[in-house]
Amino acid sequence: MDDEENQAPQLENQAPQPENQAHPRRENPSRLILQRFTYCMRAIQGALLVASVFQILIAVFLMPTFGRLLSPLTTIPLVTLVGLGMFVYGFPQLGTCAVVGVPTLLVLFFISQCLPHIVSISREEPFNRFRFLRYWRLNPNQIQRYALLFLVPFAWPFAAVLSVAYGHTHSICRVHLSGLFSGAHGLWIPNPFQWGSPTLDVGDAVAMMMAVFVATFESTGTFLMASRYGLATPPPPFVLRRGAICQGIGTLLGGVFGVGTGSTALVENAGLLGLTRYGSRRAVQIAAAIMILFSILGKFAAFLASLSLPLVGAVYCLLYSYVVSGGMSFIQFCNPNSIRVHFIVGSSLFLGIAVPSYWHESLLPSGVGSSWWSCTIQVFCSSSALGAAAAIAMDYIVTLGDQALRVDSGRDWWAPLRNNADSDTASFYAFPKKVVNLLPSLKLEGE
């Protein structure tokens, strides 16, 4: 009995040891999180590689046909819903911290809309309350062009002061500085397949293919809006094909380097063209070079990560409004007094908003959207894709065989501008001469 009593405590001490050996992950939970993250990134990489090939095939075979189906009437819901579909990143994001978002929005509105008018008045009228601004070297157009640059010196320090004042009570308002700059790399160049060999899952690949399918056609609305604010002719079908192919190449690079996302046209850039009123190919080239440079500088990425989301939401409120209003401006090329035009525009906008809302509010909370197939349908039922599809179908059904209705939709006005014979189209969308000299096959006539 004494021996059994002496052995009992020893057995109790030895009992947990096999359990610890069988579950070594409990000793280091961060390792389990890293393994799970790496597994997800490898799956995303494989899905992106498959989707990039699918996106390039769409660009080559479907985008020219889709471009020929477009008209000013069908462009209205396509572009308008591209801007309206981003509303969740605007004021809802701003409202998460109104003490940062609302002053930022008001200051941006004052700099971009009111200040240029005040400066112009100060130079036209010698005796007024704003005459001290006449010695400012910037003209009104430059003030509006650099409105966002003028906003950052106000908004970021303002949010930083509030971060110190509120502390940890309002984390969404805070400028996150702790550990960002000290932990960021000074110079970091990503390696191909940095997360390991990509894995392929059929469900993930199909969902990603549907995502790039919708994103490719939605990007058409951004291209049309950029050409509108850039004072260019509507992009012909071969230009839309060229842009979609570049998106597919970007998605392929995203899968190779493991960035986790595909490539699409940024809607905010179209709104930025409306804000700055400056469209230049050289400006885009310089901006692309700066983005590539800053992407390998960890300290600059840390500065972007420190920006509070309400500040970004305030900027989006202004940029997306330009996209929405620009989409509605295409109605001037149609017959605004036609009842059929009213029906097509109104019904396509209504369906583009109602169907995604029904999906998100009714089906997803009930658990229907748990499978990969339901997620695929959810991606396909985006607002701009549904609105554009409904508008194109109704436009061709209504105008079939009726020349007067083709005039109402603006199709006859748009047709001469969407081919290589137009001199303005050739000047806007031709490749640079140095590129054509290196690659003669890229001449505009050969597209």
**Considering only 18-32, 85-99, 153-167, which range has the smallest mean pLDDT?**
18-32
Task: Specify the pLDDT at position 126.
Answer: 62
First and final C-alpha spacing in the chain? 96
Q: If pLDDT is split at 50, 70 and 90, which confidence band does 331 have?
A: very high
Which comes out higher in pLDDT, residue 308 or 1? 308
> DSSP labels for 217-247?
HHHHHHHHHHHHHTT-PPPPHHHHHHHHHHH
Q: If pLDDT is split at 50, 70 and 90, which confidence band does 14 have?
A: very low
pLDDT per residue as tens digits for the range 94-117:
888 888 888 889 999 998 888 888
Dist CA 225 CA 270 (whole Å) = 6
Which comes out higher in pLDDT, residue 128 or 8? 128
Dist CA 359 CA 378 (whole Å) = 7
Task: Specify the pLDDT at position 345.
Answer: 93
Percent with pLDDT over 90 in the chain: 17
Question: In angstroms, how far is CA 352 from the centroid of its own chain?
Answer: 18
Residue 71 has φ and ψ, to the nearest 5°, of: -145, 170
Residue 6 clears pLDDT 60, i.e. is over it = no
**Considering only 13-17, 142-146, 353-357, which range has the smallest mean pLDDT?**
13-17
Contact call for residues 175 and 97 (beta carbons, < 8 A) = no
* pTM attached to this predicted model: 0.83
Rounded to an integer, the average pLDDT of 272-283 is: 84
Task: Specify the pLDDT at position 17.
Answer: 47
Contact call for residues 422 and 444 (beta carbons, < 8 A) = no
Residues 6+ apart with CB under 8 A from 376: 206, 207, 210
Residues 6+ apart with CB under 8 A from 386: 351, 352, 355, 356
Rounded to an integer, the average pLDDT of 237-261 is: 90
Task: Specify the pLDDT at position 181.
Answer: 67
Residue 434 clears pLDDT 80, i.e. is over it = no
Rounded to an integer, the average pLDDT of 189-199 is: 86
Burial-class residue 402 by CB neighbours within 10 Å (0-12, 13-18, 19+).
exposed
pLDDT per residue as tens digits for the range 71-82:
999 999 999 998
Task: Specify the pLDDT at position 12.
Answer: 44
Residue 269 has φ and ψ, to the nearest 5°, of: -65, -35
Task: Specify the pLDDT at position 20.
Answer: 46
Rounded to an integer, the average pLDDT of 389-416 is: 82
Rounded to an integer, the average pLDDT of 267-288 is: 86
Which comes out higher in pLDDT, residue 395 or 357? 395
Contact call for residues 369 and 101 (beta carbons, < 8 A) = no
**Considering only 1-15, 150-164, 177-191, 281-295, which range has the smallest mean pLDDT?**
1-15
Q: If pLDDT is split at 50, 70 and 90, which confidence band does 9 have?
A: very low
Dist CA 72 CA 154 (whole Å) = 40
Q: Which structure tokens are listed for 34?
A: 């890293």
3-state secondary structure at position 90: coil
Task: Specify the pLDDT at position 384.
Answer: 75
> DSSP labels for 186-203?
SS--PPTTTT-S----HH
Max avg pLDDT among 35-39, 51-55, 370-374, 386-390: 51-55
Dist CA 225 CA 227 (whole Å) = 5
Mean pLDDT of the chain: 79
Residue 431 clears pLDDT 50, i.e. is over it = yes
Dist CA 197 CA 49 (whole Å) = 12
Residue 127 clears pLDDT 60, i.e. is over it = no
Max avg pLDDT among 319-333, 408-422, 426-440: 319-333
Task: Specify the pLDDT at position 10.
Answer: 47
Task: Specify the pLDDT at position 25.
Answer: 46
Task: Specify the pLDDT at position 250.
Answer: 92
> DSSP labels for 360-407?
IIIITTTTGGGSHHHHHHHHHT-HHHHHHHHHHHHHHHHHTT-HHHHH
User: Of how many residues is the chain composed?
Assistant: 447
Max avg pLDDT among 89-103, 124-138, 245-259, 274-288: 245-259
H helix and E strand count, the chain: 24, 0
- E strand or H helix at 312, and its extent? helix 309-328
